[in-house]
Amino acid sequence: MNRSLKSLAASVVLLAFTSAAQAAIPIQHWTHASGARVYLVPSPSIPMLDVQINVDGGSRRDRALQAGLASATAGLLLAEVAAQPGQPALDENQLGEAWADLGAQFGASASGDRFSVSLRTLTEPDLLRDAVALAARQLAAPAWPERIWQRDRERTIAALVEAENRPGTHAARAFDAAVYGSHPYGFDTLPATLNAISVADMRDFYRRHMAACRAQVSLVGAIDRAQADRIVDQFMTAIAPNGCVALPLVAQVAPLTAAVDRRIPFNAAQAQVQIGQPGFVRSDPDFFPLIVGNHILGGGGFTSRLTSEVREKRGLSYSVYSYFAPGLHAGAFQIGLTTRPDQADQAVAVAREVLQRFVREGPTEAELQAAKDNLVNGFALRIDSNRKLLDNVANIAWNGLPLNYLDDWTERVQRVSLADIQRAFSRVLQPERMATVVVGGRP
């Protein structure tokens, strides 16, 4: 490890963002020649850099018969690097050692909407140069080794089979099926779907989706604009051969037309309870009333209504929560809890009652004020590390939010009224038409 690491003591510089006159996060933004959109937040005080590349290539792009394709592609992308002119191939161990010797981390993953590639590296010049070059090779020339896919598929299938022994697996499957129907958000990765995925399928998936013209690159760390430019250029050059293939539209999630009730017998120490329906898309104009409202209902932890009624007053559950998952499509709204099997019916009744009352009457003024206090006063905790800055920037990029989104954030929370929450929740949630899944309950 280079001695210059030891001089980092001298480089402590304040991240200047406390002045009211400045942006909450000063984001520099430009478009690369390839069409990739770049977002940079210089953060000089620690000699490290985080880069995240996001493209449209999440699991919503899977086919039902090949559920798990996006994730499998992300996994195998990392495995090995093929030979390139002047550069030898790197097998999985050479690659593992190379990353370890740089003290850097390279990763890839797929969520419902996004295919993400990430790099974390030190910014000492030689290490930065080599880490970026190696990341570019991984992007440009993944080897897609058949034998590694065989191995990883076996391991994954063994884990899936094992997961069938857990009640949570059955709860999630039944809930997703009930809420999403045939929408890709509800696709179930199974041994059969993994067996239908070939290396050629993954190569093809990667080429189609990892397109520079659609890429969003977020960078947070001890670099300047010129360095960011060079890094983005290397990465986009690496994926230039993928071209810019148009992607088909994905349908929206259909609302539920009737209530669904699934009670699945299972021998377990706890019953799993999940209640929900499709929620809202990220671009919904009522985004703030909905998240503030959910904070009160069951997202705000210890001070939420669900925790108060289910855990504090009745001792029914250790964990109980509600969440929305807004994405490009209406991800699920879900209330979830686990409880002793003989208490499942009671827990369902309490959760339903809390939800119905909340949708009908909304929160109290005191609850709304408490939620605002928490969200507004705690704002600094959302941006006080490079990791958090990166997540925020990537979120702004992905959702097409204005660059000054975080400057207005606390104000928009403050503006939420009781009427806003009631209107939004009544529009988005229909408690009488929700899916209820209970696994392992005992009457």
The footprint of another protein on residues 197-256 (CB under 8 A) is: none
Per CB under 8 A, the list member of 35, 181, 243, 301 interacting with another protein is: 301
Strands (E), 102-239: 105-110, 114-122, 216-221
Torsion angles phi and psi, residue 121, rounded to 5: -150, 160
Per CB under 8 A, the list member of 233, 312, 345, 407 interacting with another protein is: 312
Binding of another protein by 181 (CB under 8 A) = no
Per CB under 8 A, the list member of 114, 137, 170, 282 interacting with another protein is: 170
Q: Which residues contact 380 (CB under 8 A, 6 or more apart)?
A: none
Per CB under 8 A, the list member of 195, 252, 283, 414 interacting with another protein is: 195
The site string for another protein over 36-75 (x = CB under 8 A, - otherwise) reads: ---------xxxx----------------------x--xx
Of the ranges 3-11, 237-245, 286-294, 415-423, which one interacts with another protein (CB under 8 A)? 3-11
CA distance 329 to 434: 18
The string over 127-157, giving b where at least 16 C-beta atoms fall within 10 Å of a residue's C-beta and e elsewhere, is bbeebbebbbbbbbbbbbbeebbeebbeebb
Of the ranges 26-34, 146-154, 252-260, 428-436, which one interacts with another protein (CB under 8 A)? 146-154
Nearest approach, Cβ of residue 428 and another protein (Å)? 22
Number of residues that bind another protein (CB under 8 A): 104
Angle at 227 between CA 96 and CA 51, to 5 degrees: 45
Number of H helices, E strands in the chain: 15, 11
318 three-state secondary structure: coil
Binding of another protein by 441 (CB under 8 A) = no
Per CB under 8 A, the list member of 29, 151, 230, 415 interacting with another protein is: 151
Binding of another protein by 345 (CB under 8 A) = no
Binding of another protein by 431 (CB under 8 A) = no
Binders of another protein among residues 74 to 113 (CB under 8 A) are 74-75, 78-79, 92-93, 95-97, 99-109
Identify the burial level of 248 via C-beta atoms within 10 angstroms of its C-beta, where 0-12 means exposed, 13-18 middle and 19 or more buried.
exposed
The string over 315-339, giving b where at least 16 C-beta atoms fall within 10 Å of a residue's C-beta and e elsewhere, is ebbeebbbbbbbbbbbbbbbbbbbb
Of the ranges 31-39, 191-199, 354-362, 425-433, which one interacts with another protein (CB under 8 A)? 191-199
Binding of another protein by 114 (CB under 8 A) = no
Binding of another protein by 33 (CB under 8 A) = no
Per CB under 8 A, the list member of 114, 208, 311, 329 interacting with another protein is: 311
Question: What DSSP line would sit under 255-290, residue for residue?
Answer: PPSS-EEEEE----SSEEEEEEEE---TT-TTHHHH
CA distance 49 to 423: 43
Of the ranges 33-41, 211-219, 257-265, 394-402, which one interacts with another protein (CB under 8 A)? 257-265
Binding of another protein by 133 (CB under 8 A) = no
* The two structure tokens encoding residue 370: 């408490």
Tokens 């890839």 belong to 108
Nearest approach, Cβ of residue 373 and another protein (Å)? 4
Per CB under 8 A, the list member of 255, 378, 400, 402 interacting with another protein is: 378
Binders of another protein among residues 317 to 336 (CB under 8 A) are 317-321
Asked if residues 442 and 275 have their Cβ atoms less than 8 Å apart, the reply is: no
